[in-house]
Structure 1
C-alpha cells in the first residue's frame, strides 16, 4: 500500500463535555520515519493515538492512516503496543503471539514461525510454552512487544513503550524500533522521556494540553533556544556582535577568565568565533553547549512537572 504520508491528522479535535483533550491538531508522518509524539502526562498523546486506531472517534477533523480512514481494515498493516499492557495470563507465550497474528490476518503457520523467531530474538526460546502468568514482568513485556511486531507492520504505533522497562529491556525496545525502521516501517511512539526521542527520532512533535507546540527535527527543536557557550578569554565578550549576555564564572587564573556566553537569536558559534578572530580577542577555550530536548521541552511547556 503506497501513500504520500503514512499518517495524517488534519485539524483533529476531541472533546469530552467541556474538556478539550485534543485541540485542533494537525501533523503528518512521512513513510519510513521514526516520529516522536512527545508531551507530559495529560498532554493528549494517548487520546490522539486511540483516534488513529479507531478506538475512539474525533469530535471534528479528519485522520488518514496509510491512505485510509481509521478502521478494522487497517489491522493487517498496523502494530500497536498500548501503554497499559494486557495479555491473557493463561495463554502460553507462543499462543499469545499467534493469536494476535491471526487477528491481523496472518495464517496460523506464518504467525507461529514469526512468533518463535521473535521469542528466540528476545531470549525467550525456553519459555515458548510458559503461560503469561508464569513469566516475569519483563518477560511478559517482551511477549507484548512481539504481539505488536509479529505481522511486520507498515505502521508501528507505540504508546509510552518505555514505561516500566528496566534499562536492558529499554535497549531491546530501541533496537526493535530501529529494526522496524530499517525494514521500511513507519514508527510513531509517544513518550515523556526526552532521551529516547533524542536517540531515535527523525522528527518529533511536542504536545501540551492537547495543542501542538512544535513539529520538526531535533536540530530545529534545539534552535528554539539561544546557543550557549563557555569561553575562556582575557576580556569579556560583552558587546561583541551576536552576544546577548556574557557573565564571568569563578575567579580568573593567570589573567584568563571563564565566561558563560548566551548568543542572540540567529547568531551562531561560528560567527562569534570569526568576530573574535577578526577583533584580535584572545581565546583559550571555546565550547558550545547545545540545548537538550529536555531543555527545549521545559522552554516550550514551562514546568519541570510536565516533563515527568
Structure 2
C-alpha cells in the first residue's frame, strides 16, 4: 500500500476559496524592493489599471500573472516611471521617483528592440551605458556575459544576423550588464525555445540567490509556479490576489486520491457525497474528492475498520492554475489560455 499524506495538516486548514485576498508584504526581516499602493492608469477614458497594490520583497522572484490586456505591462511601466499613474503612489528601491534609481534597475520591455547594425557585445554595452556604465567596461562585461551563457561565438555578430531567439538572449544579458539590484522582465519567455526557457529560469534563480530582486510578467502559469516566491494575479486591471504562491494554492481545498480493493461497504458512508468513483480494469476502485473538514484521520479509521483494502491514498494540494481559476474567475482563465502559442526563434 502506498500512502502519501504530504502537508495535509496545514493544507486541511486552508482558507475558504471565497475568503478575502491576503495582504501582500515582505517576509519578516525583508525590506521591500517595490511598494505600490492604489495605482490607477486611464487611457482615453478606459481604465487599464484600477487600484493595484504590490509589495515585492528584496531578493524575491515575483511573478505578475494574467492574460494579455490584463494591465501587466502598464503596471510595470508605472513602476519604472516610463509612464506616470493617474492616482496612487510607488516606491522603488527606497525612492519615490523611479528615475532616481534607474542606474540600479534592469528592464526587458515586452516589445524587444536592439539596433540591428550593432554587434552583440556593442549592443550590450550600449544598454549598459544608458544606465551609467562606461562604454569600455560595458563591452568587456558584454563579451564575458556572452561567453558565460554560451554565446561567445556571436560576440561580433550583428543583431540583424541573429535569430529572434538569439537576439532576445542578447537583450536579456544587456539588462544585466550593469549589475542591477532590481530586474524587471516583461514576458521574458516569449520567443525562446524550451531549452533557452530553462536557461532563463536558471538565470533568474541565480540572480535571486545573489540578492537581486526579479519581477516578471507572464501569461504562462507553469513559469510562475516553478519560479516565484510570490505572485500578483491581475485580471481586468485589478489585483484580486497578491502574496505567496502557497497562499494562492491554499485557497482551494486539497484533493484526496484513494484506491481500494473493495468497491462497496460501510466505509463508503465516510466519503463525501461528491466523491468521484471509477472502477479500474483490475477490479480496484478509485475515488477522488476534496479533503473533508474533519481531516484525514476519521476517514482512515473508517476505511481500515470497514476493510476497504487501501491500495493507495494521497493528498494533493491544488496547482497554481486551479488557484488562478478560483481567484480570477473562469473568464480570466479562458483569456489566459487563449493567448497565442509563444513564438519560437526562427
| TM-score where L is the length of structure 2 | 0.81
Count the aligned residue pairs: 304
Find the aligned partners of 2:294 and 2:115 in 1 and give their Cα distance.
Answer: 57
1:138-287 equivalent positions in 2, closer than 5 A: 138-233=165-260, 234=262, 235=264, 239-240=269-270, 243=272, 245-250=274-279, 256-264=284-292, 268-269=295-296, 272-273=299-300, 276-277=303-304, 282-287=309-314
Secondary structure in structure 2 of the residue aligned to 1:245:
coil
Secondary structure in structure 1 of the residue aligned to 2:226:
helix
How far has the Cα of 1:91 moved from its partner?
1.0
Find the aligned partners of 2:301 and 2:52 in 1 and give their Cα distance.
Answer: 42
Find the aligned partners of 1:291 and 1:121 in 2 and give their Cα distance.
Answer: 38
Partner of 2:35: 8
CA RMSD of superposed structures (Å): 2.3
Q: Which runs of 5+ in 1 are unaligned?
A: none
1:105 and 2:132 aligned: yes
How far has the Cα of 1:244 moved from its partner?
6.0
Bigger CA drift: 34-43 or 121-130? 121-130
1:78-89 equivalent positions in 2, closer than 5 A: 78-89=105-116
Structure with larger RCO (C-alpha < 8 A, sep 6+): 2
Q: Return closer, same or farther for 1:70/1:165 CA change in 2, 3 Å cut-off.
A: farther
> Would you say the 8 A contact 1:10–1:27 is kept in 2?
yes
Q: Which runs of 5+ in 2 are unaligned?
A: 1-29, 338-346
Partner of 2:330: 302
> Would you say the 8 A contact 2:33–2:56 is kept in 1?
yes
How far has the Cα of 1:162 moved from its partner?
0.6
How far has the Cα of 1:268 moved from its partner?
4.7
Find the aligned partners of 1:27 and 1:78 in 2 and give their Cα distance.
Answer: 17
Report Cα offsets for 1:151-202 as digits up to 9, x if no partner. 1111110001111211111112111111111111000011010111111101
Find the aligned partners of 1:31 and 1:39 in 2 and give their Cα distance.
Answer: 23
1:135 and 2:162 aligned: yes
> Would you say the 8 A contact 1:36–1:191 is kept in 2?
yes
1:23 and 2:50 aligned: yes
How far has the Cα of 1:23 moved from its partner?
1.1
How far has the Cα of 1:282 moved from its partner?
4.1
Report Cα offsets for 1:48-83 as digits up to 9, x if no partner. 000011111101000000010233222210001111
Secondary structure in structure 1 of the residue aligned to 2:31:
coil
Report Cα offsets for 1:91-130 as digits up to 9, x if no partner. 1111111111111111223212221111112222122121
> Would you say the 8 A contact 1:244–1:263 is kept in 2?
no
Find the aligned partners of 2:32 and 2:138 in 1 and give their Cα distance.
Answer: 28
> Would you say the 8 A contact 1:228–1:263 is kept in 2?
yes
Q: Which of 304, 310, 317 lines up with 1:290 in the alignment?
A: 317
Report Cα offsets for 1:132-157 as digits up to 9, x if no partner. 11112122111111111111111110
Find the aligned partners of 1:54 and 1:279 in 2 and give their Cα distance.
Answer: 65
